[in-house]
Amino acid sequence: SAPAAVWPGPQPATSCHPHDMAKLLGKSKSGRQKTTLKYNVAKRVREHRRRVRKEAKKAGGAKKRTKKDPGIPNSWPFKAQLLESIEKQKKQKEDELAKKRKEQRDKAKEDQKQQALERAREIEERETLRKEKRAKALAEREKEAKKAGKQGDGEMEDDDEDDSDSGEEGEEEEDEDMEGDEEEEGEESEEEEAEDKAKAKA
């Protein structure tokens, strides 16, 4: 018959060295990463946080609580005098601010007045220049018209002289023709008288 199985007893504990554990669990992935990836991640995180802050400001979210002024304690010596001096300083600051604002307003009004005056001067200068240009153009046109009129008068006078010369020549020719006709008539009358005398003798 086969011998009965006997329990060997408690086994010795295995060593818990990390090297041995790594062997048992397998090779773990290294936590090292590229510097480019690292900086890119940091940049994205910064941009995300900045965007979140900007949106919170736009939405008017929770603001930082300003610490309340505790004021002057009652046990402080000369408290009333200190409060009076503080009030005087506040009034002085307010008066200075009001004075500065008034000066700024007066200065702005003066600047506006000066600008308006400068614009008016520029407009007047432009108008004067336009008027001068128009006057010059009109004078030039009048001169040209006068020149053209003089030339036309000269041409008319030349035409009149030509017409008078031609008329005189025509009259002289007519006079010459009349004289020639008279001479021819005188010669014809003389010939007729000579013929009549010859007939009478015959």
- The identity of residue 194, as a single letter, is A
For residue 76, with 0-12 CB atoms within 10 Å meaning exposed, 13-18 middle and 19 or more buried, which class applies?
exposed
pLDDT at residue 195, rounded to an integer: 73
For the chain, give percent helix, strand, coil, nearest 5. 75, 0, 25
- The identity of residue 129, as a single letter, is L
Q: What is the pTM of this model?
A: 0.32
| CA–CA separation, 54 and 50 (whole Å) | 6
Q: pLDDT tens digit string along 8-63?
A: 666 655 555 656 665 666 667 788 889 999 999 999 999 999 999 999 888 876 66
| CA–CA separation, 94 and 27 (whole Å) | 75
Q: Are 104 and 111 in contact (CB under 8 A)?
A: no
Averaged over 148-173, what is the pLDDT? 65
Averaged over 117-134, what is the pLDDT? 92
Q: pLDDT tens digit string along 52-81?
A: 999 988 887 666 777 887 788 888 888 888
Q: Are 14 and 20 in contact (CB under 8 A)?
A: yes
HSE-CB for 11 with a 13 A CA cutoff: 4
